[in-house]
Amino acid sequence: MKRILFLSIWALTTLMGTASAQISTPPPFLRQHSAWVDSVFNSLSPDERIAQLIMVAAVSDPSRSMIGSSSHPAQVEKLIRENKVGGIVFFQGGPVPQAKLTNHFQSISKVPLLIAMDAEFGLAMRIDSTVRYPYQMTLGAIQGHNDLIYDMGGQLAQQAKRLGVHINFAPVADINNNPKNPVISFRSFGENKYKVAEKALAYMQGMQDHGLLTSAKHFPGHGDTGVDSHYDLPLIGHSKSRLDSLELFPFKVLINNGLSGMMVAHLAIPALEPTPNLPSTLSKPIVSDLLKFQLGFEGMIYSDAMNMKGVTKYFPDGKADAMGLEAGMDVLEFTEDVAKSIQEIKKSIAAGKISQAEIDFRCRKVLEAKAWAGLNKLKPVKLDHLYEDLNPKQAELTNRLMTEKALTVLNNTGDLLPLRELDTLKIASISIGVDTVSTFQNTLGLYTTVDHFYVPTNPTKAQLTDIKKHLAAYNLLVVGVHLPSISPRNTYGLTTGMDGFLTELIDTDKAIVTVFGNPYALNNLSNIKKAKALIMAYQLTEFTQDLSAQLVFGAIPAEGKLPVTVNKDYLYGAGIHTPAIGRLKYTIPEEIGLDSKIIGYKIDSIANLALREHATPGCVVQLAKDGKVFFRKAYGKHTYEGSQEVKVTDLYDLASVTKITASTLALMSLWDQKKFDLDKTMKDYLPELKKSNKADLVWRKVLTHSAGLKSYIKFWQESQNPDGSFKKGIFSTTRSANYPTSVVGDSLFIRKNYIDVLYQGIRDSPVKADQGYVYSDLSFLLYPKVVKNLTGVDFESYIKKNYYSKLGANTLTFNPTRFYTLDRIVPTEKDTFFRMTQLHGQVHDEAAAMMGGVSGHAGLFGSANDVMKVWQMYLQEGYYGGKQLLSKDALLEFTRYQYPEIGNRRGIGFDKPNFIYTANAPRYASPSSYGHTGYTGIMTWADPAWKLNYVFLSNRVYPTRDNNQISQLNIRTGIMDVIYQELMK
């Protein structure tokens, strides 16, 4: 591919310097010297040779047909049987019906049929359930990266051939320099002839290099017209020199690089054809003199549809078909009356207007094209797996990458984009032109708390009043303008209600606007230049919505430039670069070189094993590599017996993952500020320990579980009498000034300051003399106190203010029922020994519950996505969202092995792979990796060597902690090992 593109750019450069230079490369199908061509040609009668030059229209779903009864399958079959037509161009329908019809039509045809489609932006231009690539105008915004357009052409070729299609009537090589053009517009790569040429060339080569015939269109240039040739004959009034230097330029480049086909438009061009009202399709000076002889084009020459008013208005009843061949056309597309056309062509032969030899030459050319396309070895289209084959994941990746590169920022007052200070923003999103929360809004919500509003195409006054009342509370509005039409015929679907409301939003001076539609639509948006920030997304798709939202938050940069001049405010080439600032990007496995089907199958198998064996009622799996979230899926239900399905946004009790997502994070922060020294002793930051057996324990050893601390104290047991009743004065069943803190819901409250009793218990607990490795929770219960002593700020406020709110990780919280309803929170254990209730929204760990739900060892709740944000900051050595929130030195110090010489695998707070595999970490994890598990069924793991980030959330303790199959089955580590194994292939 690189060699071909290099030659193409060389040819293009030559043409830029010398307009008359011709370095023509012949089309790939010519002069193949095929015995098959000779044999078939010799078997054809004169009439059948004419018929090979006719291509008729067909639809696979007549109920959706917009092109008349002649395209009905029964009528097409009749034309094949009786008139022996040479080809079919398919329009409306679906893949399987079209494939079946193709097989049938091919089976009854004397000569294999050349099957064509208008698939400028993919097969989806004509049929459902297939890939839709970006419009050419969108691709015109891409700067460089023509390899992506080449890849698109290659993929489209494979999809077309899989469907039994041999020619795509593409690319559009028209230069669109008329904003009011009703027929080209978004179908063009833009107004710059060089950019149009290079992108059309990449697209053409991608298709032809992968075995698909092409047909550039609409020669000699349909871009500067205000009339649609479907309904009338457009007039192009430019001079010959202007046409030669501008409109013809891309076509010359394509011809000189082996273009296989050219479609001629129905245009009146007095500078090239002086006969009034004679369309270019019927003009010998244009088709033969200019295209064939002057430009040296040897490929197939196709007419635009011969039923269009641009030709039939002045030349009805089959006369135009004969005149087209007389002008030099090779194939007549969409002939209205085949029998009449053949008769008119025969009359032209008899009158000497065209010779039989010329008909024969063109017939052989058609047969050569068929042979090159594989019709000499025709095989039926296989129906098995057709939908799957026509929708490959690689096509989705190409779609995503092209969309990403095209997105264009046109306004950016004060460098507002990408959004940085999330902790200072209260954001509302408003989608205009939709009836429900949009994809754009859902993706915005991945990055921080965003409240969503939406407005239909024709909003009522009451709807607008209600929304405006709410919006006053926000200091940033992120607005999506969802235009339902790409065409200027109906003002792009924009209503006065939509535009009026957008104007009001912009007038607040706090609106970021993304326009999902044709760039020319900016002329119809009254107040758009006053928007604080403006993103042009070029069209309304799931990809443009998803990736525009990611651009807003700096997960991806803005690199696109306007491919056309919209008005004096938005000129050709306008586009402001905005950087990526290290936030998570959401994509598919193919972007990191993995196969969606393979990893999906393998992870599903492990997760479903966990559900099937009742290792957990449900779980959430999220994986990222290189900062790109490529897998995010929920499995199962909240409970075995319930009906509520797990969602990826659900909050889980993170148990001991609190240690390294909250406590260790706070300590790293204090270490950065030189307020916390790992080599000082416990008494230095907890003076009450001065006279205890813990006074001289060094924090580095404490945090690596090697200071000899007791593993755990069952404080809840110490609050009970032998019969299981609570000791007097510790708990109350009602809240009061003396019992203010809930232990579980509204049914049990603990005495004020009882936390001091817990601290006393830790102070008085024994210390193991040899200080060997013993995993201990005890010090982590103390870290909230350490943080408060060193900062004067309570633990939860400190980490939320300094980290979670800055990261947009707002679901990370203690005591989540303060902020979330229970349907968002996954339940844990049915407590039958202490709190005597189903735990739901309260921390599972008993000690943390007795501390009011806020502890350094347990108590944190959150979603997988928000947990991953913290861990991505770790992987990025403290950087996230454009800010260095922790130092690189802190991450390196806290995540390295501290005492490997004595066999201690721990970092500071973090767990690390054991030196001999013990399943505490994924089997293939690198020595630089780190993470932690949580008692409730949680695992987080980060691997800098592979740039992998893994979050697994489950409630394996439901209904009882006695079930430990999640570890016995290696569910958590097994899922991450799938990724390692696939990456190592």
Q: In the prediction, which pLDDT does 193 show?
A: 97
pLDDT tens digit string along 639-667?
999 999 999 999 999 999 999 999 999 99
Contact criterion met (CB below 8 Å) for 939 and 933: yes
Q: In the prediction, which pLDDT does 16 show?
A: 45
> What topology does CATH give the domain 2-7+38-377?
TIM Barrel (3.20.20)
Helix ranges (H only) for 390-438 are 393-406
Look at residues 404, 326, 318, 374 and name the one whose alpha carbon lies nearest to residue 112.
Answer: 374
Higher pLDDT, 53 or 747: 53
The tally of CA atoms less than 13 A away on the side-chain side of residue 847 is: 23
pLDDT tens digit string along 712-764?
999 999 999 998 899 999 999 999 999 999 998 888 999 999 999 999 999 99
Average pLDDT over residues 543-566: 98
**Could you tell me which residues are beta bridge partners of residue 359?**
none
The contacts of residue 323 (CB under 8 Å, 6+ apart) are: 282, 315, 348
* Distance set, CA 723 to CA 717, 719, 833 (Å): 11, 12, 11
Q: In the prediction, which pLDDT does 124 show?
A: 97
- pLDDT value at 307 more than 90: no
pLDDT tens digit string along 494-544?
999 999 999 999 999 999 999 999 999 999 999 999 999 999 999 999 999
Higher pLDDT, 115 or 234: 115
How does strand 860-862 pair with strand 300-303?
unpaired
Rounded to whole angstroms, the Cα distance separating 949 from 941 reads 6
Contact criterion met (CB below 8 Å) for 260 and 271: no
CATH architecture of 401-579: 3-Layer(aba) Sandwich (3.40)
pLDDT tens digit string along 107-133?
999 999 999 999 999 999 999 999 999
> What topology does CATH give the domain 602-984?
Beta-lactamase (3.40.710)
Q: What percent of the chain has a predicted confidence (pLDDT) above 90?
A: 89
DSSP one-letter code for 529: G
Contact criterion met (CB below 8 Å) for 398 and 155: yes
- pLDDT value at 5 more than 90: no
- pLDDT value at 67 more than 70: no
In this structure, what token pair is assigned to residue 708?
């000899």
Contact criterion met (CB below 8 Å) for 872 and 627: yes
The radius of gyration of the chain from alpha carbons, rounded to an integer in Å, stands at 35
DSSP one-letter code for 417: P
pLDDT tens digit string along 328-377?
999 999 888 899 999 999 999 999 999 999 999 999 999 999 999 999 99
In this structure, what token pair is assigned to residue 431?
């989608």
**Could you tell me which residues are beta bridge partners of residue 427?**
450, 476
**Termini Cα distance of the chain:** 25
Q: What is the DSSP string of 594-655?
A: --HHHHHHHHHHHHHHHHHTTS-SEEEEEEEETTEEEEEEEEEBSSSS--PBP-TT-BEE-G
Contact criterion met (CB below 8 Å) for 486 and 135: yes
Rounded to whole angstroms, the Cα distance separating 681 from 887 reads 23
Tally Cβ neighbours within 10 Å of residue 900.
13
How does strand 585-586 pair with strand 628-636?
parallel
The gap from C-alpha 40 to its chain's centroid, in whole angstroms, comes to 48
- pLDDT value at 70 more than 90: no
Look at residues 923, 930, 767, 776 and name the one whose alpha carbon lies nearest to residue 847.
Answer: 776
- pLDDT value at 4 more than 50: no
In this structure, what token pair is assigned to residue 45?
């009668």
User: Residue 65's pLDDT band (boundaries 50, 70, 90)?
Assistant: confident
Contact criterion met (CB below 8 Å) for 518 and 550: no
Q: In the prediction, which pLDDT does 12 show?
A: 53
User: Residue 304's pLDDT band (boundaries 50, 70, 90)?
Assistant: confident
In this structure, what token pair is assigned to residue 602?
């393998």
Rounded to whole angstroms, the Cα distance separating 293 from 296 reads 5
- pLDDT value at 23 more than 60: no
Q: What is the DSSP string of 834-882?
A: SS-SB-SSS-SSHHHHHTTT--SSS-EEE-HHHHHHHHHHHHTTTEETT
Q: Buried b vs exposed e over 290-317: b needs ≥16 C-beta within 10 Å?
A: bbbeebebbbbbbbbbbbbebbbbbbee
In this structure, what token pair is assigned to residue 296?
């040296």
Domain regions of the chain by residue span:
2-7+38-377, 401-579, 602-984
In this structure, what token pair is assigned to residue 848?
């943390």
- pLDDT value at 105 more than 90: yes
The contacts of residue 611 (CB under 8 Å, 6+ apart) are: 617, 618, 619, 635, 636
User: Residue 228's pLDDT band (boundaries 50, 70, 90)?
Assistant: low
- pLDDT value at 264 more than 50: yes
Q: In the prediction, which pLDDT does 533 show?
A: 98
Rounded to whole angstroms, the Cα distance separating 390 from 127 reads 11
**Tell me, what amino acid is at 137?**
M
pLDDT tens digit string along 690-719?
999 999 999 999 999 999 999 999 999 999
